[in-house]
Chains A and B, each alone.
Chain A
Amino acid sequence: MFYIHCPYCAERRSEEEFHCVGQAHIQRPENPEAASDREWGDYLFFRDNPRGLHQEMWVHAAGCRKFFNVARNTVSYEILETYRMGEQASVTAGTAAHGREGQVEQVHKKVQGVRA
């Protein structure tokens, strides 16, 4: 279970109130008619699937029902920041790695130790 800070409600609430929508900052091709099948397929279906920092869009479904962005580590599930739509992330792969890597690595090792 994790808690998410909704940047609109300005409250930290349980993950159950939220719904993950997928990767954030996806640009629709400017002129869809002119897009090639490859560009359009990339836009519709191909997503980043990183092991580590991931910028994603969430919706506060059982709250204000607004969409916002989350920077989250996909191994430790640590949330590094949440920010409103239209804003840019302040945590990037470079800054996230700095100082936090040891922590993430530790969690990762613990996870690998879990046997079915």
Chain B
Amino acid sequence: MERYSVFGLIKHALSYHENWQKTWRSPTPKKEYDVIIIGGGGHGLATAYYLAKRYGVTNVAVIEKGWLGGGNTARNTTIVRSNYLWDESAALYEHSMKLWEGLSQDLNYNVMFSQRGVLNLGHTLQDMRDIQRRVNANRLNGIDGEVLDARQVAERVPIMDCSGSTRYPVLGASWQPRAGVARHDAVAWGYARGADRLGVDLIQQTEVTGLNIHNGKIIGVHTSRGDINARTVGCVVAGNSGVVAGMAGIKLPIESHPLQAFVSEPLKPILDTVVMSNHVHGYISQTDKGDLVIGAGIDGYNGYGQRGSYPTIEHTMQAIIELFPIFSRVRMNRQWGGIVDTTPDACPILSATPVEGLFFNCGWGTGGFKATPGSGDVFAWTLANGRPHALAAPFSIDRFYTGSLIDEHGAAGVAH
């Protein structure tokens, strides 16, 4: 596989860019693999990449029923941050953040990671107390963060209405300078290309229809293209986790909800950071192309229809217009909904199961994109060693029986 570089670009320019290699192969599935990963989204592809790259397991297949990165990886607002409250989640998301910081070089693929900072606004006194608590907790965990007052927020984002005359006045914010955004599709494609180069088979248009379990051990999967054997299977299927878990007779504490986002018409550069508000419920950033990317809350009911409800659209627009009156005449280009797998404590499940060799990585809910590299690395270690990585251990499914939940509703950014 050829490396991407400026010299390659010049070389291919001479032949009118007609001879670029395919980014990855389309292999026929083998009869047996060491590890099968179900789900070719960002997390699944990252898992495959790190398995091959860091843990020496290259006989790996990623089985995807549609196309690579076609689910929530392509249906999010691309925000990357690690300012979570509790030690367990802060460690996991910060691990991810550190991988983000070298990801383009590591993958030899530009994921357009832009550390433009994230503001989490506070609109009430209690919001500000929570922000102070969270920023202090972050700093104790070695994660950058600052508490800004309304004047400092206004200096950073002059187009935002920080006058104090709005229904929910901006009183301040937490500010994580290292946070930012990344190009979501490039993350999936970069990991896919990297994994393919290391020998991982990416098998698209193949649906897993059942799990082959014998004497409490997994020995393979049934797919729409025949049976494939493996002693270790990792399931990374986000909103459909409950469906695959059902094949193994396992119940997960997950409910699937639609989460939607919008993209506006392209504008000249006007917003150079990411603004999130948990209280009025909207978040916004501007892409390099100029589109405003706007996120919303989840729909309150369970749903698998990949579309969001109109009241949620209206509610989100109200929040954005109140914060940014200047955007009141911006037109929206597109709107989409993804199915997010929410857990009772807004934290993911990275866990072994009662079936030996079957592992789940799910429950990322509304905030999985930022965790893509960290989740992949930690889950790859878990699959390679057959036991949970130290960072994954607190996220075991057992926490719902022992009661040691990790309540991240405050830092998750989207009310559930």
- Interface check B310, CB cutoff 8 A: yes
Partner of B300, one of A20, A45, A49, A54: A20
- B344 contact set on A, CB distance < 8 A: 44-45
User: Which residue of A22, A74, A107, A112 has the most chain B CB atoms within 10 A of its CB atom?
Assistant: A74
Q: How far is the CB of A23 from chain B (nearest CB, A)?
A: 8
Query: Chain B, 105-120, contact with A by CB distance < 8 Å: what is the 0/1 string?
Result: 0000000000000000
Q: Is the CB of A75 within 8 A of B400?
A: no
**Known contacts A77-B303, A111-B306: does B400 contact A116 (CB below 8 Å)?**
no
- B302 contact set on A, CB distance < 8 A: 20, 49, 54, 56, 74
Q: Is the CB of A47 within 8 A of B304?
A: no
**In the complex, A67→B360 CA distance in Å?**
35
Instruction: Output the nearest chain A residue to B311 by Cβ-Cβ distance.
Output: A16
Q: Is the CB of A38 within 8 A of B401?
A: yes
Partner of B400, one of A19, A45, A54, A77: A45
Q: Is the CB of B304 within 8 A of A1?
A: no
Query: Chain B, 293-308, contact with A by CB distance < 8 Å: what is the 0/1 string?
Result: 0000000111111110
- B306 contact set on A, CB distance < 8 A: 111-112, 114
Q: What is A's interface to B at a CB cutoff of 8 Å? A: 1, 15-16, 19-20, 22, 37-38, 40-42, 44-47, 49-51, 54, 56, 72, 74-77, 107, 111-112, 114-116
Residues B307-328 near A (CB distance < 8 A): 307, 309-311
- B402 contact set on A, CB distance < 8 A: 37
- A50 contact set on B, CB distance < 8 A: 242
Q: At the interface with chain A, which of B219-227, B249-257, B383-391?
A: B249-257
Q: How far is the CB of A47 from chain B (nearest CB, A)?
A: 6
Instruction: Output the nearest chain B residue to A19 by Cβ-Cβ distance.
Output: B300
Q: What is B's interface to A at a CB cutoff of 8 Å? A: 70, 74-75, 240, 242-243, 251-256, 300-307, 309-311, 336, 338, 344, 400-403
Chain B interface mostly: loop
- B75 contact set on A, CB distance < 8 A: 116
- B303 contact set on A, CB distance < 8 A: 74-75, 77
Q: Is the CB of A46 within 8 A of B253?
A: yes
Instruction: Output the nearest chain A residue to B301 by Cβ-Cβ distance.
Output: A20
- A51 contact set on B, CB distance < 8 A: 240, 242-243, 304
**In the complex, A72→B255 CA distance in Å?**
15
Q: Is the CB of A74 within 8 A of B401?
A: no
**In the complex, A22→B257 CA distance in Å?**
11
- A111 contact set on B, CB distance < 8 A: 304-307
- A72 contact set on B, CB distance < 8 A: 301
Q: Is the CB of A75 within 8 A of B304?
A: yes
- B253 contact set on A, CB distance < 8 A: 45-47
Q: How far is the CB of B45 from chain A (nearest CB, A)?
A: 17
- A116 contact set on B, CB distance < 8 A: 70, 74-75, 336, 338
- B310 contact set on A, CB distance < 8 A: 1
**In the complex, A79→B21 CA distance in Å?**
50
Instruction: Output the nearest chain B residue to A75 by Cβ-Cβ distance.
Output: B304
**In the complex, A116→B152 CA distance in Å?**
36
**Sample of 17 further A-B pairs with CB below 8 A, known A37-B401, A45-B253, A51-B242:** A15-B309, A37-B402, A41-B400, A41-B403, A42-B251, A49-B254, A49-B302, A51-B240, A56-B302, A74-B301, A77-B303, A111-B304, A111-B305, A114-B336, A115-B70, A116-B336, A116-B338
